[in-house]
Amino acid sequence: MGVLYEKIQFSKELKRQIIIRQLLDAGIREHDGKHVSELDYYTLRHVLAMQKLKL
């Protein structure tokens, strides 16, 4: 069971890092006074969705 948990956590972190890279590539470095690398996955997803809507 521990291996499955580790794989899921790794997958979530990988998704988080991909979103961070997309935001940085789009020129977004901060949200609500925090650097994007400090944000949780769901906040990052929201910021990315809002950025895509603006295009």
The confidence score (pLDDT) of residue 22 equals 97
pLDDT in tens, 6-41: 998 899 999 999 999 999 999 999 999 999 999 999
pLDDT in tens, 34-55: 999 999 999 999 999 999 998 7
Find out whether 22 and 39 touch, Cβ atoms under 8 Å.
no
The confidence score (pLDDT) of residue 2 equals 86
- For residue 1, pLDDT beyond 70: no
Nearest to 19 by CA among 8, 52, 1, 2: 52
Cα–Cα distance for residue pair 14/21, rounded to 1 Å: 11
